[in-house]
Structure 1
Amino acid sequence: MRNTILYFPFVFATALCHGLKGAPYARYGSEIINLYSCNLQMMHTVSFCSDPLDAGFACSCKNSNALATLAGCFNNGKKPVISEATLALCEKNYLSPVSVEQFQEAYINFTLRAKTIDEIPGFNLSIPVDVPIRLDPEIVSLYKRAYRQFLGNYDNSLYYGSGMLGFWLLVFLVVAVSHWSKLLFPGVVKYFTGPTSNILRKYITLPATGRRRRTNEKPLWKVFDFLVPSRKETIIIFLFTCLTIFCNSHNIVYIKNDPIFTKKSDVLLRYTADRTGITASIIMPLLVLFAGRNNFLQWLTGWNFAVYISFHRWIARIVFALVFVHAVTFSFALGTKYYAEDMKETYLVWGTLATVAGGIIMVQGLMALRRRWYEIFLIIHIIMAALFIGGSWIHVDELGYVWFYYAATAVWAFDRLVRILRLVTFGCPESEVSFLSDETLKVVVPKPKYWRAIPGGHAFVHFLRPSCFWQSHPFTFTTSTSQETENSIVLYCKVKGGVTHGLYQYLATHPGKRTTIRVSLEGPYGESTPAKRYDSAVFVAGGNGIPGIYSEIYDLALKQQENSDKILKLFWVVREYKSLYWFYEELLALKSTKIECTVFVTQPDSESCINEFASRMVQKFSDTESEDKSDSYKEKITEEGSVDIRRIVHQIHNELNHINFVEGRPCMDSVVKQEIEDSPGSVAFIVCGHPLMVDDLRYSVAHSLDYAKGKRVDFFEQLQVWA
């Protein structure tokens, strides 16, 4: 893995060495198109120079009759115009400077002495002539139309690619206005809430693409399981896909009797190859930007990292489709005669390598693979991404499009620099890591003075152990509610596979499954929801989704004024009572707030791990009962290894008497409709938990807007599904 980390910048460094000497982008325009068309027609029609090395432009720069013919063709019988492109070409490429005066004299020479080839006795294409030639106007027009299509395609590709970027600029502008309006002008947003607004949000901005599935994956033969974007995201992706198809197919036509290409198929293949290769390069910076953690667009639009990762995946598929079409069409355009020889060229070798790397990314990025072997996926993804960007860079560095790869690499480098600076600034403090019930790790990290905990935010955690120090994983955090650790950041990590499972095994070898480990945090990332702008804020958490939800509602409660009539409600859905154990102190802290908390226990009779409450409960019993009863209770636990679950539950209810416990599964439709009805005004639903629960709540909110009766109802999702 360390070699992988070093390999990524190495590939970019190699590309940089090539790219810095790459050709700058040059727009062709009508002048250069006319110049190229005239030059090609002259080469097909007449000879002026006997030396084969002086063919084409070189001859026009050195031979007065060739220059006169070029001047006449360039002006095509119209008012004389100086070809600045010709002057520059002669001076830079052929070291045969031509002045403005010489070009003017050449045009005068053409008007006085030019002849058609029919007027030259015994004309032979292989024999140089000593007079300017007047070319056939119709053929001149044909050559110019052909070159206008050929070279103009390069210019058009830049415009179409810019249009593809402009699409995203428009999307970000619309979303940013909507996002900041909620933050800065909540009253205006409430005012414009009505049937039209509700229809838009019910059918476009809130729901999943289909019926319910959004954060929960869609099964497709197991191997091809995938995540479905929200309906809003799907519409954006669909429109961008349609725009991409249009921009890469429009105005690609064949000019009858094309003098540049011999066959119509060659024309269409070459134009398609050029268009798709250029537009893929233009949108490459977006591909890198959307995958970065330090993406300024998150702050601008309010979209979280998961949304941009979704866009990143779809743009990656579109980019690879363009690259694949570019590679196939260009290969066929080369033809079998020259293919083997041309493929030895450096730019084609690296272009092929980049295409293969992109194909590997498409396969290894399948959800079934990345979720089952995430660390392997990550290593391969980094290597292949480096080869894809670096190979593409070298492929285009002499074609004038390397600047887009400068931008893509700059975005990547900036993101990595910020991440490194965050880690260096935070340091590597010793942190207490312990294993609690419900397969949960608790990590208490000393908080630096500058570190501002964003309620509802998250951070990437590096556990500095030899087996995993290079890995970083995202977790939501809370600030500690205990006076002993009031200047600490508290993270709760669900034990799954990979790093968390390795930590669990490591803690199992320590007394009390607790030890200190040096930890570094990269963050904080994310933003709080606009919940504080609403009259009622309803926070719903499921299982281990509680930390981020809790941190935001607890922060709102602490900042709430005494005379505020704002309603804060917290719903937490857990499977068993044991799930309360690891978050018990935070639940106790709610007693001093105005938060109305309800805990749903879906399997209340489960005795799984209930013994973990025993030591705490025994102490409570000893405070309220006789010493004999307390001792006998301790003895019963020791001998039988079990406890009376109902007695434990009763004690939990007593300690958490500020919380309403409901044994059973909540009906999200009923919860949403009841909260909308009870709210004096606008309502915000904020959710994080199991994907099925999140999708159910989203569906319920979207389909309850008809019952809002003029109240503004919004849905905010803290759950971020990235892998």
Structure 2
Amino acid sequence: MLKWTDPNASGTTCNSSAEVASIYLSSKLYCQDKELSTGLKLWKEYCQGISTPLLDLSGISVNATPAYLSSLSTVDPYRNKSISLTSPVLLTRSYYDISFRSNSAFYQALPRSIRIGWSVMGYWGSILVIGMLHRLWTYTRSAHVGSDDAEHGWHSRASPNKRNLASLRHYFNTHLVVPAAVRSYHQRRLWGCSIPNRLELLVVVGFWVMCIILNFGFYDIFTPNTRYDFNATSLSPKLSALTCSLRYQTTAHQVWKYVAQRTSVFAVACLPWVWLFAGRNNIFIWLTGWSFGTFNVFHRHLSRLTVLFAIVHSIAHTVVETVYSSSYQEDIKTLWLKFGIIAVIMMSFLGGLSFPYIRAKFYEAFLIGHITFAFILIIALFKHTAVLGTRFYSYLWPVVAIWSFDRSLRLVRLLYCNLRVSTNRGQRIQTSTAIATYSRDTGVIRLDVTVRGALTPSPGKYFYLYQFSTWRGWENHPFTVGTYTSIPKSLQTPSYSTAVGVSGLSPTLEVPVNNIGSIEQNSISSSSPLGEVKTSTKNTTGLVFWIRPYDGWTRRLQEQCLESSSSKQISSNTYQLRLSLALEGPYGHCLPLHNFDTVVMVIGGTGISTAIPYIHDRISRASLSSSSHYRKNSPISKIMLVWTARNRALIQEICDGQLADALLRGYFEASFYCTESNTIENSTGNIDEEHKQEKMTIHWGRPDVEDIIFSAGKEAQETNTRLAIMACGPAEMADAARRGVHSALKNGCREIWYFEEAYGW
């Protein structure tokens, strides 16, 4: 830095006559007219900002003749640091070029980082566009398969282009889509961590690599740099004691400064995607057809990167403020820095609460902390970034909009599913009612919910259940609809509601087993073959959920049933509770199982609630077999159910009820497995004898899922048919099904699709 001797100046570049004249004359000599006018404007704004008006330049401008400029001495500040100047001088051309580049790089750093930050938008936007195009292609192909290939076979008339496309699809399914990323772990946890499949991992790793490269590269770092050169006295005491060169000091300073800036941009740029992928009402779930679990994988990795960026930003900024400057003590008193510290702390808390162990063991703490800390985080970020104007609001306001949209739609779903305005004088406002029935024999809670209004969910739909009457009324959990019934308005009496509430359309209504199938058929008659949701003001809807008590709310629901039951119910090992529940939904998507020749359902425990609606949908479609249009759009010829349950009683109950009609159908095959040996040994003979005509056989132990799927794939390959595998059950079973599908793909079975119905944390 040059030293100026001016007794009337305050040590700034605004009121020292010699320094002001030198700056102006050097700019006049080296700058274009437009550059000069822009620079003067910024110079005046700077002086006004420090409350020191800029000296009048009119007199200096008049004297800036070529002759006067040629008479001035030229000075290079790098070589003349010890000279005290009392009169105007000119900067050397070389120093001007260095200074120009230094200031240009300094002021362009943030806009450049913001432009690079748009790569986050570009990356995820491209991924979503690919997903939407794939969904459109799949939908178009499914319609084509349903209309033509169902009658004539996919490969029999396939053109060379179609065969090439099928080969490419088979390659991707075999090596990317189906197999797990690490050995066979997907639903099972590896060292406490969930493992995505290979395609999800490829997307996630690609994003990590892109972010790391863009955050720690592409900086305009050079020496000498007038924005970062300084004397040793301006350093912190520790650094000034080090024997490091000025070049190293300048380079390190630039690196810390630019890394702090770039990581802050990326941290904020990721936030809209973090919120979008976490929401239940994410519109891209509908547009891409991807599961909530897939978006949850993206959400978790985006969140981790965001926390990492925020921590690196805070460390780098602290180094700049403490090591290369002495301004930290002053800045810590400002609101923008205080709120920045709060934001980093909130992000760290959010990341810490998201560890799998904490999330699984202390879910309520995770949920409440997530909402609370996220709310504080957004407020802190608005305050923290306000020092830079509104340039970061384009990232923050979308977060508010996404959150508001998701919560508003959740509220709309709650009101729609649970409240009805009636024209009856007796009860204007009608709400949903529910009856929970816990059986010690099955170990399962059957929850029958009567929804006001005929809301008919298609297969694959699930609802979030609330119990607002408890002190944890905010708690909600997802459960798949097992069956749904349309109750005519004429039958909506208290006695009928009670009967249906206890066991749906089950033997409680004293209906013979051989007639249950026809009643179940009537109960789903309002379900369209295409599975859309219909509503009517004349009927109410009965929804049935099967819930196995574990910890948390399901365990408390079981305890409520046990505490409120009468002696008559206790004697029958059945405990019943009438309660108030609210539903939010429906969520989920209907799988196109009707487009396949054979469907193998690998089910575990209460996962049967996922399979039953698809089986009923098949029965409903079969009733339309007289329609030629139906024959073209339903090639399915066989359903094979492989169901494993803990005890015989649950299998008995479902087979006597919801599966009774299906067991009589020629296209339906079922294999039942029970993991509790005592329940089989005591009653195998009775069950086999009773259901011999219904093809019901119960095996002890667990099925060889991989072998079953591999054999089905081999048969599909030999018969040139399309095969769908649907798995819903424990993590071990789902991973075994995935391995079986992968083995079939590697064996050459091209027309095999894998669908996994699981809720991802």
Q: Provide the TM-score with structure 1 as the length reference.
A: 0.78
Q: Which stretch has the larger CA shift, 43-52 or 171-180?
A: 43-52
Q: Residues of 2 paired with 1:419 and 1:492: CA distance?
A: 23
Q: Is the 8 A contact 1:351 1:391 kept in 2?
A: yes
Task: Tell me what 2:244 maps to.
Answer: none
User: Quick check: 1:307 aligned with 2:294?
Assistant: yes
User: Quick check: 1:411 aligned with 2:402?
Assistant: yes
Task: Tell me what 1:705 maps to.
Answer: 745
Q: 1:301 to 1:257 in 2, by over 3 A?
A: same
Task: Tell me what 2:276 maps to.
Answer: 289
Task: Tell me what 1:646 maps to.
Answer: 684
Q: Is the 8 A contact 1:553 1:568 kept in 2?
A: no
CA displacement, residues 652-703 of structure 1 (integer Å, 9 cap, x when unaligned): 525x715454444322232223323444422221111111111111111112
Q: Is the 8 A contact 1:545 1:719 kept in 2?
A: no
Task: Tell me what 1:160 maps to.
Answer: 116
User: Quick check: 1:490 aligned with 2:544?
Assistant: yes
Q: Is the 8 A contact 1:539 1:686 kept in 2?
A: yes
Query: What secondary structure sits across from 2:482 in the alignment?
Result: strand
Q: 1:314 to 1:72 in 2, by over 3 A?
A: same
Question: What code does the residue aligned with 2:712 have?
Answer: E
Q: 1:117 to 1:187 in 2, by over 3 A?
A: farther
CA displacement, residues 337-395 of structure 1 (integer Å, 9 cap, x when unaligned): 43333222211111112212222222222211221121122222222222333323321
User: Among residues 350, 362, 365, which one is paired with 1:361 in the alignment?
Assistant: 350
CA displacement, residues 233-290 of structure 1 (integer Å, 9 cap, x when unaligned): 1111111111011110112353112111132222111111111111111111111111
Q: 1:68 to 1:502 in 2, by over 3 A?
A: same
Task: Tell me what 1:214 maps to.
Answer: 186
CA displacement, residues 38-58 of structure 1 (integer Å, 9 cap, x when unaligned): xxxxx96889996549745x9
User: Among residues 698, 716, 719, which one is paired with 2:755 in the alignment?
Assistant: 716
Question: What code does the residue aligned with 2:694 have?
Answer: N
Query: What secondary structure sits across from 2:547 in the alignment?
Result: strand
Question: What code does the residue aligned with 1:693 have?
Answer: M
Task: Tell me what 2:235 maps to.
Answer: none
Q: Is the 8 A contact 1:600 1:664 kept in 2?
A: no
User: Quick check: 1:334 aligned with 2:309?
Assistant: no
Q: Residues of 2 paired with 1:440 and 1:688: CA distance?
A: 17
Q: Is the 8 A contact 1:216 1:227 kept in 2?
A: yes
Task: Tell me what 1:578 maps to.
Answer: 649
Q: Is the 8 A contact 1:687 1:694 kept in 2?
A: yes
User: Among residues 666, 671, 675, which one is paired with 1:603 in the alignment?
Assistant: 675
Higher relative contact order (CA 8 A, sep 6+): 1
Task: Tell me what 2:366 maps to.
Answer: 377
RMSD over aligned Cα, in angstroms? 3.5
Q: How does 1:162-241 map to 2 (within 5 A)?
A: 162-186=118-142, 191-192=162-163, 194-219=166-191, 225-241=192-208
Q: 1:469 to 1:45 in 2, by over 3 A?
A: same
Task: Tell me what 2:616 maps to.
Answer: 554
Q: Is the 8 A contact 2:117 2:266 kept in 1?
A: yes
User: Quick check: 1:473 aligned with 2:502?
Assistant: no
Shift of 1:603: 3.5
Q: How does 1:109-120 map to 2 (within 5 A)?
A: 114=69, 117-118=72-73
Q: How does 1:7-22 map to 2 (within 5 A)?
A: none
- Gaps of at least 5 residues in structure 1 are 1-42, 97-101, 220-224, 611-643
Query: What secondary structure sits across from 1:246 in the alignment?
Result: helix
Shift of 1:576: 2.6
Shift of 1:508: 0.6
Question: What code does the residue aligned with 1:333 have?
Answer: V
Q: Residues of 2 paired with 1:241 and 1:251: CA distance?
A: 16
Query: What secondary structure sits across from 2:650 in the alignment?
Result: helix
CA displacement, residues 76-99 of structure 1 (integer Å, 9 cap, x when unaligned): xxx865755755885899499xxx
Task: Tell me what 2:149 maps to.
Answer: none
CA displacement, residues 177-221 of structure 1 (integer Å, 9 cap, x when unaligned): 2222112223779634544432221111111012211011112xx
Q: Which stretch has the larger CA shift, 313-322 or 524-533?
A: 524-533
User: Quick check: 1:535 aligned with 2:597?
Assistant: yes
Q: Residues of 1 paired with 2:479 and 2:658: CA distance?
A: 17
Q: 1:652 to 1:212 in 2, by over 3 A?
A: farther
Q: 1:565 to 1:319 in 2, by over 3 A?
A: closer
Task: Tell me what 1:686 maps to.
Answer: 726
Task: Tell me what 1:431 maps to.
Answer: 434
Q: Residues of 2 paired with 1:195 and 1:350: CA distance?
A: 55
Q: Which stretch has the larger CA shift, 290-299 or 252-261?
A: 252-261
CA displacement, residues 634-664 of structure 1 (integer Å, 9 cap, x when unaligned): xxxxxxxxxx52354235525x715454444
Shift of 1:582: 5.0
Task: Tell me what 1:33 maps to.
Answer: none
CA displacement, residues 22-72 of structure 1 (integer Å, 9 cap, x when unaligned): xxxxxxxxxxxxxxxxxxxxx96889996549745x999x98996665454
Question: What code does the residue aligned with 2:710 have?
Answer: K
Q: Which stretch has the larger CA shift, 419-428 or 366-375?
A: 419-428
Q: Residues of 2 paired with 1:116 and 1:520: CA distance?
A: 88
CA displacement, residues 582-640 of structure 1 (integer Å, 9 cap, x when unaligned): 534212242465651313214364239x9xxxxxxxxxxxxxxxxxxxxxxxxxxxxxx
- Gaps of at least 5 residues in structure 2 are 52-56, 76-81, 146-153, 155-161, 230-248, 419-430, 488-499, 505-522, 524-540, 570-574, 626-630
Task: Tell me what 1:388 maps to.
Answer: 377
Q: Residues of 2 paired with 1:113 and 1:592: CA distance?
A: 108
Query: What secondary structure sits across from 1:185 in the alignment?
Result: helix
Q: Residues of 2 paired with 1:480 and 1:80: CA distance?
A: 74
Q: Provide the TM-score with structure 2 as the length reference.
A: 0.75
CA displacement, residues 521-577 of structure 1 (integer Å, 9 cap, x when unaligned): 111111112323333332221111111222233224313442554224132222331
Task: Tell me what 2:636 maps to.
Answer: 566
